[in-house]
Amino acid sequence: MDGTFQEQAKVFKALCDPKRLAILEQLRSGEKCACVLQEPLDLTQSGLSYHMKILCDSGIVVSRQEGKWTHYRLSLSGRDYALQLLKKLTTPKAEQDSNCQKCE
């Protein structure tokens, strides 16, 4: 399988979990420290780390380190990439002959 598909799948993996969607909702109001994200979702530190790695690997979220805490925020370029990818994958190509050569 094409490595490009592996990279693209990371975007959809990031969006297919309720906890990650809840994290994205929290980040809509601005950058948040991991400690702030952890409590309302009833996640352990390792549980939050797992979800944040998937979100960051997708490009939808970016992080920065400040002391012992990591701060997360939404990435506009990651969002734009996700939107373009979804549009590309769900837009039919120019009309082609719909007759299947194998079926004739």
**What was the pLDDT predicted at 96?**
61
pTM (two decimals): 0.85
**What was the pLDDT predicted at 39?**
86
| pLDDT digits 0-9 by tens, 24-74 | 999 999 999 999 999 888 899 999 999 999 999 999 999 999 999 999 999
More confident residue, 1 or 15: 15
Q: Domains in the chain, please, with CATH? A: 3-88 (1.10.10.10)
33 bridge partner residues: 71
71 bridge partner residues: 33, 64
What are 9's two structure tokens?
A: 């799948």
Q: 28 by DSSP, 3-state: which? A: coil
Cβ atoms 60, 74 nearer than 8 A:
yes
Least confident of 10-24, 26-40, 84-98: 84-98
- The pLDDT mean for the chain works out to 91
**Does the pLDDT at position 93 exceed 90?**
no
**What was the pLDDT predicted at 37?**
93
What are 71's two structure tokens?
A: 């701060």
The percentage of the chain sitting over the pLDDT mark of 70, rounded to a whole number, equals: 91
